[in-house]
Amino acid sequence: MCVFRVEGCGVSDSDLSSRVRPAYAQASSLEEIRGNLESIQGRIAAACERSGRSLSEVRLLPVSKTVDAERLRLVYAAGCRDLGENKVQEAWNKSVEMADLTDLRWSVIGHLQTNKARVVARFAHEFQALDSLRLAEELDRRLQAEGRSLNVLVQVNTSAEPSKYGLAPEAVEAFMRELPAFSSLRVKGFMTLALFSEDKVRVRECFIRLRQLRDRLRDSVDPSIAMDQLSMGMSGDFEMAIEEGATVVRIGQAIFGARALPDAHYWPGIPAN
């Protein structure tokens, strides 16, 4: 993430890409992955301690995009049972490749086009990027057909960056009122991506905004809608997110190592670093 971006030093983008993420060494053995998981768990525990929260309130969701099935089997061997993927086709392909691991659960955490709802309905355990009623309707219809249900988080754009997906905070209340109609969706709370910035104050504001939105709406929504979950924080900012109330942190590079694909591939419009 761009917390590590080097700015104004007169180098080209391609020079930058090799410098941006020096902290994330590639982890390709079980020992390396275990070591990274342990160090992250330690940092999660310390952030909980600092903010007077219980460790059991915070779930680590390993984010496995671009990581092949062979390395994902290592994270499974290290005890992880949930994997987050940004793109549904990649998640589906891996779920087929790893179908022998029957207790592995897939969480789709990236923007979904309505015409791909069918794929999510078939295999995902969780979907963290719900941001339109059309998509809710299509997911519900496909889930009914599969006889399945799906845990869902509503994605909120807390940074007001036009490039980000998710609902504007002002639109969330009305949106939540419509969700009880979709009986296959088990709504659990909210997800956000913070501002891509080195300005920690402004990044933290995004996390605060999501928590305050949740707290404000908590008592006004239908009781069938849960609002406990706040999925926020990634490799570069998860401790701050926990201090502000995160219950799910989505962490990729700090477990597996830097990705070759720039983040702009997943979030069109952000600065390519």
Ligand X SMILES: *Cc1c(COP(=O)(O)O)cnc(C)c1O
- Chain centre distance of CA 241: 12
Judged by beta carbon, residue 245 or residue 252, the one nearer ligand X is: 252
Q: Give the shortest CB-251-to-ligand X separation in angstroms.
A: 5
Judged by beta carbon, residue 34 or residue 141, the one nearer ligand X is: 34
The C-alpha angle 260, 98, 100, rounded to 5 degrees, equals 165
Q: Give the shortest CB-48-to-ligand X separation in angstroms.
A: 19
Indicate the helix (H) or strand (E) that contains 189. Answer: strand 185-191
Buried b / exposed e along 116-127 (16+ C-beta atoms within 10 A): bbbbbbebbbbb
> 24: Cβ–Cβ under 8 A, 6 or more apart, which residues?
235, 253, 254, 257, 258
Q: Which residues make up the interface to ligand X (CB under 6 A)? A: 1, 63, 65, 86, 109-110, 193, 234-235, 250-254, 266
C-alpha radius of gyration, the chain, whole number: 18
Question: CA of 163: how far to CAs of 18, 108, 194, in Å?
Answer: 24, 19, 12
Judged by beta carbon, residue 110 or residue 169, the one nearer ligand X is: 110
> What is the rounded distance in angstroms from the CA atom of residue 18 to the CA atom of residue 228?
39
Judged by beta carbon, residue 24 or residue 76, the one nearer ligand X is: 24
Q: Select the residue whose beta carbon is closest to ligand X and give its number.
A: 252
Q: Give the shortest CB-157-to-ligand X separation in angstroms.
A: 12
Q: Give the shortest CB-90-to-ligand X separation in angstroms.
A: 11
Q: Give the shortest CB-41-to-ligand X separation in angstroms.
A: 15
Q: Give the shortest CB-200-to-ligand X separation in angstroms.
A: 16
Task: Answer whether 238's CB lies under 8 Å from 48's CB.
Answer: no
